[in-house]
Structure 1
Amino acid sequence: MISASKEETAHLSIIPFIFVLLGLFMITIAVNLQVPLYTAYAEQAGYGKAATALVFAAYVFGLIPVLLFLGGISDRAGRKPILLVALGFSLCATLLMIVHPSIQVLFAARLLQGVGLGLSVGTCTAYLIALYPEKSGWIPTFIALCSSVGFGGGALFTALLSFQRVSLTPLSYWIVLAFLILTMMGVFFFVPPVQGDTGKPMMNMPRFPKGTMPANAAIAIAWSVCGLVISILPAQLKLNGYELWVGPALFLINMAGVLMQPFVRKMNSSTALLLGFICLPCGYGLLLYGANSGSIFLVLAGTMLAGTACYGFTYLGGLQLIVERGKKEAARAVAGYYLFAYLGLGIPSVFVGLFADMYGTQIVLTLFFLIVLAACLILLISGIRQKQK
């Protein structure tokens, strides 16, 4: 990728910066826009929790191949075309759900959302660094904040507009569709292109340096809890009439982690991981107890506590460890880290959903809590012993 020169970037206004960030925000907000209505779509078609879990995981199935095999595509083709294509995938996914709101179409929409996110996840960061090299130190912070608010904000937006009247095509879909169109126009007309380099590799295959597997395992476990909050928890909350509260819960799980990140940055990576091993099972246990007892306050408190691990201690602490151990292979090591993260996000939800239909949601979620607790205890004890050496 050929970066713009200082002369070319010195005169740039803040407008391209805003539109690139808005592009990432709209893609991430669209990803979880339908989450509060998963149960409604499944019930409409006569399906159970396995279907909602599979639909949720479809986004991961679309995302991972793009990350693995097309990770360098914006280096070759240029940032602007790939960002526009990513926005196009999100727009098509949202439009599909407006035209035909059903669980079957939602599966296809989730695949499109995964491809769109996979194309944009590294493109926006690299795009802004190329356009504003003098602000490169701050850009990852803006990217992290923007994507985190987007991931939680989509579900929250739909939930807030559905509390009075539940619709299979809520107003939030139309508003996001309109903003996606406006964002594409803004990127096309107001963001300058950055020339690609055809010599760059297309693939970014992951690498797992020695000593990084605890961090990889930790993020897989942490994000599996996020996956359950999105895909399975709404069905359990519906027993007490709280299914739409999954929107605020998902927003809190993201924002709690974001608010914790400034403190985690000042910590040793190993210490941050150890704190994550404590917060994650405590948070999951609290939200599970709240869901079973009908206490939405405990559910929200539990999601916040789990969020400090999912997107705070475990996520950032693990990422720091990966970068430290990866050294010259840091980019490929980070790719491996995200591979574990997204596999954890999607695969456990499918199996939990399948078993929930067979044996009951409460039993299976409780059993999964015991698995998470055991895994965190093993990693915690192992980490403490490693620190004492």
Structure 2
Amino acid sequence: MTGTMQSAVTTTTRRAWLAVAFAAFCIGWGGNEFTPLLIAYAQQAGYSRVDVDVLLGAYVLGLVPGLLIASTLSDRHGRRPIMAIGVVASAIGSLTLALGDVAGFAALFGGRLLSGMAVGIAMAVGSAWIAELSKPPFDDAAQGAGARRASICLSLGLGAGPLCAGILAAFAPLPLVLTYVVHAALCVPALWAVLALGVETRTEGSTRTLLQGLKVPTAAHRRFTHVVVPMAPWIFGSAAIAYAIVPALVADELGQWALLYTAGLTVLTLACGVLVQPIARRLDDASSARAVVVSMVLMTLGILAAVVTALTRSPILAVLVAMLLGSAYGIAIVSGLLEIQRIAEPDELAGISGVYYSLAYVGFLLPAGLAALARYVSYPVMLTAVAVVAAACAVRCASGWSKHLDAPGGPAGTRYDGSSICQGS
């Protein structure tokens, strides 16, 4: 009988991460459903290129507090209630965006802020929760499965949102309203899944104050600053180039199909990001920065391809850009998560995840920055400069190839894998 009870408990806990994954998927959906509608807001609502790119990046303002504060609150009060707040914020954000067709820019900006806060919670708290539920005593999945699961479910949501939005915008009535209502309805079962099926992993709340919780010592780890920080902004910087900048560059060649093309390019970018993640896991090496460097090389190549696209205005070449940058995004996000999971103490995992994703989402401000400069400098010139900076960051990551590999909580000279580091000159 004891064996039967143990088996039942094991089966239940092994599936617990799926509830969190579904919630993260729904929040990711809400965070990216806006992207393919950029052209619709510009063509139908009369917003300028700068306006729509500001709205695209606006949720970074909500995302960063969501990432940093939510992780601390989840350490104190548990993962479940904070993740539930994220789902609710995502639904309210979508409903606010639905009002934007009537209420204007302020409602759109507010909706994007709420969507950003929700994505921040999903990325910091959801990723940490999935990682915890993918380890004993909750699951006996392979090492690194938590990072891969968290990344895949978020990426699937980030891809499904624009796919649905693009289809509705092309074929359904009131697309600037219906898109958001569909997502808000999807959040209802996601909220139930978190509250009813999510297994709490933080049984003992942190005694640290909020200000103390905002301090993340792991963020000063030399491995983090030397290898992860130079790569992180390019995670969503590359994605933003692929599905915000490049589609706008070729939109005049597409006519009425521009919106559906943008949705397809967004989905293609994120699909490549998901499909490449098993390869990313195999590329990862605890003794080097191999996967990080490979992602940065792909990003540089993808941005250079975007330069050629800006010169030729070729929709076909834009597809290659999306595939390159999507693959780079997928390898980068997984390799970064695996790096921080190796250097973080258990109590700092949510906090360092928040810092990591905050840096990653800084890249989403790139389209707004380039749009503001476009009146002075052409896109081919600006993207060439961006490629040069990406190449410099790749060199910086490579310079930390096998450096600063001390394991958390272990004696100096202990590698991530428990082996000894030779202390030679």
TM bin, normalised by shorter chain, reads 0.7 to 0.9
Structure 1 contact 162–170 (Cα < 8 Å) conserved: no
Q: Which residue of 1 aligns with 2:289?
A: 270
Q: Distance in 2 between matches of 1:374 and 1:183?
A: 42
Q: Counterparts of 1:186-197 in structure 2 under 5 Å?
A: 186-191=193-198, 197=204
Q: Counterparts of 1:84-233 in structure 2 under 5 Å?
A: 84-101=84-101, 102-128=104-130, 129=132, 133-135=138-140, 137=142, 138-164=145-171, 167-169=174-176, 171-191=178-198, 197-201=204-208, 202=210, 203-206=213-216, 207-211=219-223, 212-233=225-246
Please state whether the residue corresponding to 1:239 is helix, strand or coil.
helix
Structure 1 contact 63–117 (Cα < 8 Å) conserved: yes
Matched, 1:371 2:390: no
Shift of 1:69: 2.7
Matched, 1:285 2:304: yes
Q: Distance in 2 between matches of 1:328 and 1:83?
A: 19
288 and 23 in structure 1: CA distance in 2 versus 1, 3 angstrom threshold? same
Q: Distance in 2 between matches of 1:343 and 1:109?
A: 19
Q: Counterparts of 1:37-116 in structure 2 under 5 Å?
A: 37-101=37-101, 102-116=104-118
Question: Which residue identity is paired with 2:32?
Answer: N
Structure 2 contact 77–205 (Cα < 8 Å) conserved: yes
Q: Tell me the alpha carbon deviations over residues 103-160 of structure 1, each in whole angstroms, 9 at most, x when there is no partner.
A: 4322111100111122232433454545971246444432221111111221122112
Structure 1 contact 82–120 (Cα < 8 Å) conserved: no
Q: Which residue of 1 aligns with 2:333?
A: 315
Q: Distance in 1 between matches of 2:240 and 2:50?
A: 13
Q: Tell me the alpha carbon deviations over residues 215-262 of structure 1, each in whole angstroms, 9 at most, x when there is no partner.
A: 312221343232233444443232123243222222222222222222
Q: Distance in 1 between matches of 2:399 and 2:129?
A: 42
Q: Tell me the alpha carbon deviations over residues 252-307 of structure 1, each in whole angstroms, 9 at most, x when there is no partner.
A: 22222222222232334423233223211222232453465343222122111112
Q: Tell me the alpha carbon deviations over residues 166-191 of structure 1, each in whole angstroms, 9 at most, x when there is no partner.
A: 74436443322221123223444455
Q: Counterparts of 1:317-332 in structure 2 under 5 Å?
A: 317-323=335-341, 331=349
Shift of 1:380: 4.3
Structure 2 contact 233–361 (Cα < 8 Å) conserved: yes
Aligned partner (choices 366, 371, 393) of residue 353 of structure 1: 371
Q: Distance in 2 between matches of 1:143 and 1:182?
A: 19
Q: Distance in 2 between matches of 1:223 and 1:126?
A: 19
Q: Distance in 2 between matches of 1:260 and 1:120?
A: 22
Q: Distance in 1 between matches of 2:133 and 2:333?
A: 26
Shift of 1:210: 2.1
Question: Which residue identity is paired with 1:244?
Answer: L
Q: Distance in 1 between matches of 2:394 and 2:128?
A: 35
Of residues 88-97 and 163-172 in structure 1, the stretch that sits farther from structure 2 once superposed is 163-172
RMSD: 3.4
Matched, 1:255 2:271: yes
Q: Counterparts of 1:17-32 in structure 2 under 5 Å?
A: 17-32=17-32
Of residues 99-108 and 192-201 in structure 1, the stretch that sits farther from structure 2 once superposed is 192-201
TM-score, normalised to structure 1, is: 0.83
74 and 388 in structure 1: CA distance in 2 versus 1, 3 angstrom threshold? closer
Structure 1 contact 58–110 (Cα < 8 Å) conserved: yes
Shift of 1:30: 0.9
Q: Distance in 2 between matches of 1:266 and 1:379?
A: 23
Q: Distance in 2 between matches of 1:26 and 1:74?
A: 19
Q: Distance in 2 between matches of 1:190 and 1:158?
A: 29
Structure 2 contact 86–121 (Cα < 8 Å) conserved: yes
Give the length in aligned residue pairs.
379
Aligned partner (choices 249, 260, 265) of residue 236 of structure 1: 249
Q: Distance in 2 between matches of 1:219 and 1:199?
A: 28
Q: Distance in 2 between matches of 1:326 and 1:14?
A: 24
Aligned partner (choices 310, 313, 320) of residue 301 of structure 1: 320
Question: Which residue identity is paired with 2:358?
Answer: L
Question: Which residue identity is paired with 1:350?
Answer: A
Identity rate of aligned residues, in percent? 22
Question: Which residue identity is paired with 1:109?
Answer: G
Of residues 79-88 and 165-174 in structure 1, the stretch that sits farther from structure 2 once superposed is 165-174
Q: Distance in 2 between matches of 1:238 and 1:250?
A: 14
Q: Distance in 2 between matches of 1:148 and 1:214?
A: 23
- Structure 2 residue runs of 5 or longer lacking an equivalent are 404-425
Q: Tell me the alpha carbon deviations over residues 7-48 of structure 1, each in whole angstroms, 9 at most, x when there is no partner.
A: 994463877554332211111111111211123224455432
Structure 2 contact 84–195 (Cα < 8 Å) conserved: yes
Of residues 51-60 and 203-212 in structure 1, the stretch that sits farther from structure 2 once superposed is 203-212
Q: Distance in 2 between matches of 1:190 and 1:327?
A: 27
Of residues 337-346 and 148-157 in structure 1, the stretch that sits farther from structure 2 once superposed is 337-346
TM-score, normalised to structure 2, is: 0.77
Question: Which residue identity is paired with 1:263?
Answer: I
